[in-house]
Amino acid sequence: MKEFKWQDWLIIISEAVIVLFLIWGYKNISAEKIDTWSGKIISSVNEKKSTKDKGAQDGQENLPEEELTEKKIAITFDDGPHPVYTEKLLDGLKERDVKATFFVLGEKVKANPEIIERMQKEGHIIGNHTYTHIQLRSSNREKFRDELVLTNQAISEITGQEVQYVRPPYGTWDKKLEEEMNMFPVLWNVDPNDWCTGNADRVTRGIVDKTKENSIILLHDCYQSSVDAALASIDILQERGFQFVTVEEILFE
């Protein structure tokens, strides 16, 4: 058997040191690799997460513009004020915090001034619908104009404010009157023909099926069925995210 000399021990120890060194080195490299990979995985997850967060934040920044802004519509009532139905309607609008636009007849304003006063107090817009519901024709232009003036006077005496809006009966209008009278005509685009049926459900369907953003709904506050349909429609449309505003917000904003 070979006798170990101190040189042999030196070689064995040196080899052992080299082997240990190699093992230590390999472990370190592996650890680094794992760290690098897991680091990459973590950072890519973070990247995705932060992209997602950013998306959500962007979304939150954009949402108020697109989704939180409610779709505006206006509800309008012609031919009043009626001593019974207009009051009922005003009660229902107040309960629902809805502002409407009323196109009133001068002769009915004279008969029911307290209702005009209430409309103004409760934030509704009051417009002109002529004095006796006269339709504009080429033969009666002067009379038509006189009726507008008389109705404006009747309203202003009560409200103390100038009347800016007119709804010409049957939608017949002369553009020159706009400058002459300094008034703006307001027509409509949802007409459930409430005046020719007493069926409130049918009127309600006629409103809710056709209403979209910026619609101007035409109703008449001189029938019980119209009042019922108006309030039922308001409940449904508010539920669907519509916001009721006065016509000026639809026309000028």
The set of catalytic residues is 78, 220
Q: Could you tell me which stretch among 15-23, 37-45, 66-74, 78-86 binds Zn ion (CB under 5 A)?
A: 78-86
Check residue 147 for interaction with Zn ion (CB under 5 A): no
Instruction: Report residue 70 as tokens.
Output: 């409610």
**Residue of this chain nearest to Zn ion (CB atom):** 78
Nearest-approach distance from CB 196 to Zn ion, in angstroms = 13
With contact defined as beta carbons under 8 Å apart, do 200 and 234 qualify? no
Nearest-approach distance from CB 68 to Zn ion, in angstroms = 36
List the interface residues with Zn ion, window 169-228 (CB under 5 A). 169
The nearer residue to Zn ion, 78 or 221, going by C-beta atoms, is 78
List the interface residues with Zn ion, window 17-76 (CB under 5 A). none
Check residue 79 for interaction with Zn ion (CB under 5 A): yes
Nearest-approach distance from CB 243 to Zn ion, in angstroms = 26
The nearer residue to Zn ion, 124 or 129, going by C-beta atoms, is 129
Binding string, 151-170, against Zn ion, x = CB under 5 A? ------------------x-
- Which residues are 184's β-sheet partners? 165
Nearest-approach distance from CB 103 to Zn ion, in angstroms = 7
What is the C-alpha separation between 154 and 139, in angstroms, rounded?
25
* Structure letter (DSSP) for residue 131: S
The nearer residue to Zn ion, 169 or 192, going by C-beta atoms, is 169
What is the C-alpha separation between 15 and 3, in angstroms, rounded?
19
- In Å, how far are 68, 110, 199 from 158, measured between CA atoms? 38, 10, 34
With vertex at residue 117, the alpha carbon angle to CA 116 and CA 122, rounded to the nearest 5 degrees, is 100
- In Å, how far are 13, 156, 181, 199, 243 from 162, measured between CA atoms? 109, 6, 11, 36, 26
User: Could you list the residues that contact Zn ion (CB under 5 A)?
Assistant: 78-79, 169
